[in-house]
Structure 1
Amino acid sequence: MAASVPGTVKATGPVARVGGLTKRFGDRRVLDRLDLEIGRGEFVALLGRSGSGKSTLLRALAGLDRDNDGAIAVDGTVAVAFQEPRLLPWKRVLANVALGLDAADPRAAAEIALAEVGLAERSGAWPLTLSGGEAQRASLARALVREPGLLLLDEPFSALDALTRITVHRLVLDLWTRHRPGVLLVTHDVDEALLLADRVLVLDRGRIAHESRVELDRPRHRDHPSLTELRATLLDRLGVTPEGTA
């Protein structure tokens, strides 16, 4: 079983370290002695084909699945924002953000977090009255109010329409710049990975099969020559050819 031990990574080391992580589903090995480090304040994107183990790795880092072999060490709190906002419909937005918060004044901390994501005026709303973008912003507020050392994003933009996705992308970068958690973003979108991340990884056959660093400053334009070249490399690693999927 993997050991997830908050606070065991030295202050000068990475915020998260995974060593030899192996996960099996029956006879199938989804993660195969995987090694990974995420630096403090680093924004990492993880790509991979469907079923490659991306969400399995994220769940292991979050401590949601401990039935693994290997070692996981995370310094500080871990927070997760999922594809679905997962807000409790019987609690108002403010109560959702403050739920389970270990703070001297959870309500005040939740109000500050909602203001950061532009939802101060919606704090008393019921979750079912929120738009998709508003619900995802509330989910981000709930994650960031815990001041995580490691923020895990499990395809949080995939259900949003194109214009809302651009807005939430900008919000995430702004929040990351202000709070500087280490971030692991799981996504199927190569362009999204290149626009947001410092480092892009490709997961294949249970291991990190490729790594690309993105040296450009933000904001980035998707048609920048450096991104065009990186995009082609990543698509090739994912088995996508100009004619389609290999």
Structure 2
Amino acid sequence: MNRIAILALLSLSFSASADEIVMAKKRWEESPHGPLLERILPPTFERAQLPERLSKGARLLVRYCVQCHNLPNPAMHDAKRWPSVVERMVLRMRGKGNLGPLMKEMMAGVEAPTEDEHRALLAYLKRHAQKALDPTKFPEAYRPSGEAFRLACDQCHVLPDPRRHTAAEWQKVVERMQENMEWMNRVVSSKPQPEEPQLRIEDINAFLAKYARKGAAR
């Protein structure tokens, strides 16, 4: 495939993804449940940040997941957690969630993946899932110097393996996570409360940089 064909394919893929996201947001605006749907996940992760963003799994993630909420980051859960999450989401897309008739009403017009698509989507999410930190290799995470990292990350997901990113990449990830935590009203360092743990961004970045993957950013 020549360069022009590849660029054309990229353009078509991003255009289709953009259309699906625009349509989803339009649906939220028209739905009486729109404000609830929009608050399910923070709007800080973009389709351009998806790993293997032209793969079938990435396209399925955009196609189905943005029908009900903002785009999820595959690294928001570890591989053990994704199967139950995807199963629950597919049931909801079929109008069979835990809210009974209300769920069916909320999911009106929403498409659910086929069994093959379900498997492909799950395989993609598990392949790019969060890799949990091994406590035996990083005992410092459970010492005072790792407390800010541990308390901040543990609020939302498993503690990530510091080797997943370079130090420079981690700074961007931490910045995005801070936005997520502010959006979700979780504990962050920007508005200290005397009765809550003080999670300094500098301490989190210092811990991650110490054990980060060496080499150039990907």
Q: Same fold (TM over 0.5)?
A: no
**TM-score in terms of structure 2 length:** 0.29
- Which protein is bigger by CA-based radius of gyration? 2
- Greater helix share, structure number: 2
- Greater strand share, structure number: 1
